[in-house]
């Protein structure tokens, strides 16, 4: 996502919170999404609490998209545990029924873009092209 807010060719969602904002960006693999968010000064969003889940759900509710968007949740190849890139606790989860799947290639997580699916999470193949949600911490 370019920081020129007037560009209409890059779909995004922006929610201004007290000290941060979210932005949904164009399609990319999970690693591309990670690099894009970091190079823009942000990170893939960590949905570490019900409050953050509600904020992300509200932001995505108006996206009029289907499928999933990348978030900052990944499974360790070494331990098999899921972890947030932000190193926040994984005490809160919103996995869809039957998730996370046990398929070996599904090591990255996405959040549903569809309100009828309650913005639940699923394990995805990291090489699939998906939109992604960046989180930016702003200084006021």
Mean pLDDT of 17-33: 70
Helix (H, G, I), strand (E, B) or coil at 131: strand
Helices within 1-140 (DSSP H only): 30-39, 50-61
Task: Provide the mean pLDDT of the chain.
Answer: 79
For the stretch 10-19, pLDDT in tens is 344 444 443 4
**Residue at token pair 């919103």:** 94
Q: State the pTM of this model.
A: 0.81
């Amino acid at each position: 996502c370019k920081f020129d807010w007037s560009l209409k060719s890059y779909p995004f969602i922006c929610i201004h919170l007290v000290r941060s904002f979210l932005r949904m960006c164009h399609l990319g693999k999970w690693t591309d999404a990670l690099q894009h968010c970091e190079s823009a000064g942000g990170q893939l969003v960590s949905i570490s609490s019900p409050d953050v889940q509600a904020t992300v759900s509200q932001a995505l509710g108006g996206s009029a998209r289907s499928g999933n968007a990348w978030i900052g949740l990944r499974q360790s190849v070494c331990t098999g545990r899921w972890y947030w890139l932000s190193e926040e606790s994984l005490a809160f989860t919103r996995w869809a029924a039957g998730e996370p799947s046990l398929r070996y290639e599904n090591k990255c997580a996405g959040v549903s873009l569809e309100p009828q699916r309650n913005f639940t999470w699923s394990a995805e193949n990291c090489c699939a092209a998906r939109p992604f949600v960046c989180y930016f911490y702003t200084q006021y």
